[in-house]
Amino acid sequence: MTKNLWRRAASAMIVGAILTIGAAMPAVAQAARVTVNGTPITDLQVAQRQKLFALEGSSGGSKGATEQLIDEAIQISEAKRLGITVSNAQIDEALLQIARNMNVSQDRLINMLQQGGVGMDTLKDRLRAAIAWNAITEQVIMPQVQISELQLDEQAANKVQDYQTFDYILKEVIFVGSGSGGRAGQANSYRSKFAGCDTAVDLSLAFTDAAVIDVGRRHATQLPEAIAKELAGLNVGGITKPRVVETGVSMLAVCEKAQAEDLTFIKSDLRAEAGNDVLVDQSAAYMANLRKQAKIIYN
């Protein structure tokens, strides 16, 4: 699996903060409720995390907040052991991304936290642990993930349909512009006169706003299912029915067609799915082992 793909799979594991205004809870004294590898987790931290839960509309209560804080303390401890640091700039960027995802300004995000009685450090602490764990996942867990290529080959072969066993060289004929009704009429007229790729450009000159684009080589597994099925029923020199697309009305012309089973693109999707599943399982196992080794003292 490519590094970028792994990075996306790992990044998907970072917990997002989707906030809505909620009620504040009464303040509590700063007494250590739990100590994790020498790091205290206070009653105040637990209360603040519960408020953050309330803002997110999630449940968990005091126990859920405590357990999440324990996990985060362990993650930060492991990051330190591995020499991983999370900069303030990374935290700021994560906060900005949350605000963008919510379509609010960063000032508005801070104001929402304040109205819910949540200190900014509460969200920052969660983000610091999440970013640290993401780095641990990428540095330690990803390299351990193994996916059987033989199994992927077998799964991909079982997924290939008859219409997906062709390789094409295609041209796109597109009637550019809005007003799909009129464009579709021109496209159908073009299609009725179409006599093959060699004369595609010359034929387009007789129509308004028609363009012929070399798509090049495409395997059926690279194409949307409906198009792949239609192309499978065409011979060389055939052209698909008009389809409305964002830029106008489009048709695909078959310039070359050959029988060719290519599992590359199916395998790529299967690899991503399998990699995500394995990564989730191994990350959970890694975390469970860290918790088992951690010195957790409940007060």
Q: What is the pTM of this model?
A: 0.55
Which segments of 209-259 does DSSP mark as H helices, in order?
Answer: 225-232
pLDDT band at residue 142 under the 50/70/90 scheme: confident
Architecture in CATH for domain 15-146+277-298: Orthogonal Bundle (1.10)
Which residues make up the CATH 3.10.50.40 domain(s) of the chain?
Answer: 161-259
DSSP for 120-143?
A: HHHHHHHHHHHHHHHHHIIIIIGG
User: Among all chains, which residue has been given the structure tokens 């450090």?
Assistant: 121
DSSP string, 96-124: HHHHHHTTS-HHHHHHHHHHTT--HHHHH
Across the chain, mean pLDDT equals 83
User: Cβ distance 37 to 73 under 8 Å?
Assistant: yes
- Separation of alpha carbons 129 and 73, rounded Å: 8
Q: Position 274: which residue type?
A: A
User: pLDDT at residue 120 above 50?
Assistant: yes
Stronger pLDDT, 58 or 194, i.e. the higher one: 194
Please give the radius of gyration of the chain, using alpha carbons only, rounded to the nearest integer.
28
pLDDT band of 148, cuts 50, 70, 90 = low
Q: What is the CATH number of domain 161-259?
A: 3.10.50.40
pLDDT tier at 181, thresholds 50, 70, 90: low
Nearest-angstrom CA–CA distance, 29 and 53: 20
Residue intervals in the chain for CATH 1.10.4030.10: 15-146+277-298
